Amino acid sequence: MKKFTLLSLAILFAASSISFSQLNDEINNDYDKNALMFGPYLGWSVAGVNTTGAPTGLKVAVGSSSSPNFGIMVYKPTDISSNSGYAGLLGIKHVPYGYNNGAYKDFYDMSYFIVGGLFNLSGFTIGLDVSFPMTLDHIDPSYEVASNNLNITADLKLGGMFKLFENKYGIFNIFINAGYMVNEVHKNVVGLNPKPAHIEVGLDYLFNTSNF
């Protein structure tokens, strides 16, 4: 719940700043909107499920991560009028999934270092992350899986990136992504091997490099 509260406060702050930003642009609108941009992003994997089913006696359950996704994005606008461009990013991503059966719960939260890219087409985004495994956390702290037993994965993602406000210093966006892991989580596993899908929501601020 804390993560949703923080995200909501950030969105409210951004919304309250829109009128000031628009006024500032009217006064000083001589900046290069087509310049290269870069900045941090922060998000959360709010829901994740395993798409390959559940172990015998269990059901697929929706998991969520309490740890944030974060990193750096470099963005190049290609068409200002249609809000289009392309981006590269480096960061940390969490992918949750789980199972349950009544009172029994079996939840996982995988963390990855990602090298990714995306295309933004009028606010609609499509991209790919190459994800390098770091840790696999379980609801039972004694459960451990070494990272060298986890696959490097390719994750397809579809979503949207929507501008909250823009001024000469940069752009503040809200984004949402649906990601799907193309290959399995574990190496050398016979039988059920997870391929999670997840939903991420977050915010980014991209500085306009024409000011530097």
| pLDDT by position in tens, the chain (length 212) | 555 555 555 554 554 444 444 444 444 566 788 899 999 999 999 999 999 999 999 999 999 999 999 999 999 999 877 789 999 999 999 999 999 998 899 999 999 999 999 999 999 999 999 999 999 999 888 787 888 899 999 999 999 999 999 999 999 999 999 999 999 999 988 889 999 999 999 999 999 999 87
Q: In the prediction, which pLDDT does 126 show?
A: 98
Q: In the prediction, which pLDDT does 164 show?
A: 95
Phi-psi region of 170 (alpha: psi -120 to 50; beta: other; left: phi over 0): left
Domain enclosing residue 72, as ranges: 2-211
Q: In the prediction, which pLDDT does 5 show?
A: 52
For residues 30 and 25, what is the distance between their CA atoms, to the nearest angstrom? 8
Encoded amino acid at 21, one letter: S
The total number of structural domains that make up the chain: 1
The 10 Å Cβ neighbour count of residue 150 is 20
Cβ atoms of residues 112 and 121 within 8 Å? no
Q: In the prediction, which pLDDT does 27 show?
A: 44
Q: In the prediction, which pLDDT does 82 show?
A: 79
Q: In the prediction, which pLDDT does 131 show?
A: 98
Q: In the prediction, which pLDDT does 191 show?
A: 87
For residues 33 and 15, what is the distance between their CA atoms, to the nearest angstrom? 21
Q: In the prediction, which pLDDT does 112 show?
A: 98
Model's pTM, two decimal places? 0.84
Q: In the prediction, which pLDDT does 188 show?
A: 86
Question: DSSP string covering 54-109, please?
Answer: --TT-EEE-B--SSPEEEEEEEEEEETTTTEEEEEEEEEEEEEEEEEETTEEEEEE
The pair phi, psi for residue 142, each rounded to 5°, is -80, -10
CATH number at residue 149: 2.40.160
